[in-house]
Structure 1
Amino acid sequence: MRMDDAAGVLARADFFDICDEEQLRMLGFAGDRKHFEADAVIYKAGDTPTGAFVLIDGTVKARHEGAEAGKPYALSEPGSVISPTALIIDKPRPVTFTAVTDCELLFVPRAAFMKLARQHPELAERAAQRIQQDLGRYMHALEPLKGKMKGA
């Protein structure tokens, strides 16, 4: 995949709107296009991803494991980002991502994102704000369930 093509993929991805054009090009250069056959596991719950994936084409199923287990959901919108927090946080994930159809994804390594964030502190700040906003939306969505949760 050419660097400009990868930068274009990233430009369509929600999370990466925090990057300017040069930062998108640099991440695109570090990115790696990957093909997954239908039913292939992209990564399993309990794995520690080393970066994030951006959906180029296809459909991916996400299934939470353990205490967060629930109904699986699908990602099929080009530009959907799988595990954007993996760009910053080196922790196992409770979700298994599986290709439903043949899929093309762009892998963005955490090392490349963190190097860029160290070089551009304003990018690091925007990333922190984005993740904080996303977590706030998740917590707000859980608010109606608070009374039903154990110990509440």
Structure 2
Amino acid sequence: MAINDDIILLKKFDFFNKMTPEQLRLLIFGAERQEFASGEMIFKEGELAESAYVVLSGTVNLYRQNNNSGQPIDIINRNALINELALVTEINRPFTAIAQSNSKVLEIERTVFLRLIKEFPDITRYIYDYVNERIHELANNINRMSELK
């Protein structure tokens, strides 16, 4: 995949869509492309999350340890962003990710993202707005769940 294709892909995600092509290019240059065979673990629930992943091809299943059914809690296809909040804060992985099929991902490490923010501090405003919106969504979901009880 050409770098311009990667930029177009990242622009589709709310987390990155306010960033300039130049900023995204720098982010992509600092990222690492990885390939995972079918059945291979990408990361494990509970581990310190030091990066986010963009699924470039293939399919990734997400599992939770407390889900005894053995079924994935979600199935992630290509052109998806996983664990983006790991780019801005220290969190643990909320689930295990396993390649369902041969998959290619772009791993973006927090250290690379933080260097970009240091160089372009205006990015912090976009990220603040994104995180704030996600927190409101989470609060609304919690309120809806409590109303069902």
Normalising by structure 2, report the TM-score: 0.85
Alignment of 1:74 with 2:57, yes or no, is no
* Letter of the 2:76 counterpart: L
The Cα offsets for residues 42-91 of structure 1, whole Å up to 9 and x where unpaired, read as 11111112211001111111123459xx9611111x32111000111122
| Aligned residue pair count | 147
CA contact (8 A) 1:39 1:101 kept: yes
Aligned to 2:64: 64
Q: Secondary structure at the match of 1:38?
A: coil
Aligned to 1:122: 122
CA contact (8 A) 1:39 1:99 kept: yes
CA contact (8 A) 1:118 1:124 kept: no
* Letter of the 1:74 counterpart: I
Question: Matched residues in 1 for 2:14 and 2:90: separation?
Answer: 21
How many angstroms does 1:2 deviate by? 5.7
CA contact (8 A) 2:11 2:18 kept: no
Write the mapping of 1:2-151 to structure 2, written as runs, cut at 5 A.
3-66=3-66, 72-76=73-77, 78-147=78-147
* Letter of the 2:75 counterpart: A
Q: Note the residue ranges of structure 1 that are not aligned, 5 or more in a row.
A: none
Richer in helix (by share): 1
CA contact (8 A) 1:14 1:80 kept: no
Q: Note the residue ranges of structure 2 that are not aligned, 5 or more in a row.
A: none
Normalising by structure 1, report the TM-score: 0.84
Question: Matched residues in 2 for 1:40 and 1:139: separation?
Answer: 34
* Letter of the 2:139 counterpart: M
How many angstroms does 1:6 deviate by? 3.9
How many angstroms does 1:94 deviate by? 2.3
Percentage identity across aligned positions? 23
